[in-house]
Amino acid sequence: MSVERQLTNKRILITGGAGFIGSNLIERFLTQGNQIVCLDNLLTGHYKNMEGFQGNPHFTFIEGDIRDLAICRKAVDGVDLVLHQAALGSVPRSINDPLTTNEININGFLNMLVASRDANVKRFVFAASSSTYGDNYTLPKVEENIGKPLSPYAITKYVNELYADVFSKIYGLETIGLRYFNVFGRRQDPNGAYAAVIPKFVKQMINHESPVINGDGSYSRDFTYIDNVIHANEMAATVQDPSALNQVFNIAFGENTSLNELFETLKLELSQFDAKIFSVQALYAQNREGDIPHSLASIEKAKSRLNYHPTFDVKSGLKEAVQWYYQHLK
């Protein structure tokens, strides 16, 4: 049974707060009486994601880069808790530009750990990734069983876990890693070469364009709605069980959906707003380099130690997300 633990009266740094996940976390924790500091370089984040917070006396925005240690030190000053979401995402982007991915995701992550340690931050909760499972194709994915990474991005996210573990053991910084599985929902950017599959498909279908499915559509993912991820961060930020500290947890719903099933569900939901969308057909292309065939999380560890109990399955999440996108992309 889920018991919500609210985070209140804290000073929280959210890195990457102008991005998709970060801005949703800011929205949640501002409403609970916290002071929020957002650090973002706006490389992939957007001012528009923070429009609802500007002018709020409890919100501070620092435009800066986690590759700059001085900026990291400024951002963590007086902070109780760090929710580290800043990263350069996307497997294809990391394959095209491994240097920048490494600089931001590893050097930047280390800067944040050092700054947090030196500022006596109590807890550091960070966005880890299901890409860490690499070439271990066993399903469901269990935290302790990973394979070799299949992309530069996956390497960086695994190195994050290693660094967090070392900082927890040597310096006593409380760290918790949340391995996100294909998060989707409001404010996820549909634009650009590295847009995630769901917002990209939605935008194309709204424009009556055929989305491109890589492979034959049988590849599957554990798509995870944003509200589940907000819940997970709240549980990680407030958990008192010592067995939950210096750990990584799968954050997902625990069901997988094929790309073909995803397309059909999106078509069904979108056609309620525009009947023409029901006639849109998908196109098929080659599989992408670095993609794994199937992803499905075991969330038993997060349930038992964090009291993580996701409430949105993929269909209920897509219903909410499609409604938001149709209002904002039209």
Q: Phi and psi for 193 in degrees, rounded to 5?
A: -65, -25
Is the peptide bond preceding residue 140 cis, with omega within 30 degrees of 0? yes
What residues contact residue 165 under an 8 Å CB cut-off, 6+ apart?
A: 175, 246
Catalytic sites, residue numbers: 153
Query: What is the rounded CA–CA span in Å between residue 172 and residue 5?
Result: 24
3-class state of residue 140 by DSSP: coil
Q: What are the φ/ψ torsions at residue 125 (nearest 5 degrees)?
A: -100, 130
Q: Is residue 177 packed enough to be buried (19+ CB in 10 Å), middle (13-18) or exposed (0-12)?
A: buried
Q: Rounded to an integer, what distance in angstroms lies between the CA atom of residue 168 and that of residue 301?
A: 19
Q: What is the distance between the alpha carbons of residues 269 and 22, in angstroms, rounded to a whole number?
A: 26
The C-alpha atoms of residue 4 and residue 17 are separated, in whole angstroms, by 23
CA 18, chain centre distance (Å): 13
Tokens 């130690």 appear where? 305
Q: CA–CA separation, 60 vs 36, rounded Å?
A: 6
